Structure 1
Amino acid sequence: MAKLRQKNPRTVRQAEEVRGLEHLSMDVAVNFSKGAQLSSHIHNVCAEAKEAIYTREEDVKFWLEKGVDGSMFEVLPQTADLPGLQRCRLSSELWKPCICSYSLSIEWYPCMLKYCKSRDAAGKVSSYKCGIRSCQKGYTFDYYVPQKQLCLWDEET
Structure 2
Amino acid sequence: MPPQIGPGTKTTSTSRDLVGVALLLPQKNPRAVRQAEEARGLEQLHMDMAVNFSQGALLSPHLHNVCAEATDAIYTRQEDVRFWLEQGVDSSMFKALPTDTEQVLPRCGQAGDRGTPCVCRYGLSLAWYPCMLKYCHSRDRPAPYKCGIRSCQKSYSFTFLVPQRQLCPWEEDS
The bucket for the TM-score relative to the shorter chain is 0.7 to 0.9
Contact 2:102 2:119 in 1 (8 A): no
Query: What RMSD over aligned residues (CA atoms) do the two structures have, in Å?
Result: 1.8
In our comparison, the structure showing a higher alpha carbon Rg is: 1
Residue 133 in 1 paired to residue 153 in 2? no
Cα deviation for residue 15 of structure 1 reads: 0.7
2:128 to 89, 108, 113: 108
More strand per residue: 1 or 2? Answer: 1
Cα deviation for residue 117 of structure 1 reads: 1.3
Q: TM-score normalized by structure 2?
A: 0.80
The alignment of Structure 1 onto Structure 2 pairs a total of residues equal to: 153
Q: Which amino acid aligns with 2:67?
A: C
Contact 2:125 2:156 in 1 (8 A): yes
Structure 1 unaligned regions, length at least 5: none
Partner of 2:31: 10
Alignment of 1:6-155 (within 5 A): 6-78=27-99, 80-81=100-101, 83-120=103-140, 126-155=143-172
Contact 1:119 1:126 in 2 (8 A): no
Cα deviation for residue 75 of structure 1 reads: 1.0
Q: Which amino acid aligns with 2:29?
A: N
- Partner Cα distance (2:115, 2:106) in 1: 13
- Partner Cα distance (1:106, 1:83) in 2: 30
Cα deviation for residue 82 of structure 1 reads: 5.3
Contact 1:114 1:131 in 2 (8 A): yes
- Partner Cα distance (1:84, 1:90) in 2: 12
Q: TM-score normalized by structure 1?
A: 0.88
- Partner Cα distance (2:130, 2:34) in 1: 11
Cα deviation for residue 154 of structure 1 reads: 1.4
- Partner Cα distance (1:19, 1:64) in 2: 29
Structure 2 unaligned regions, length at least 5: 1-19
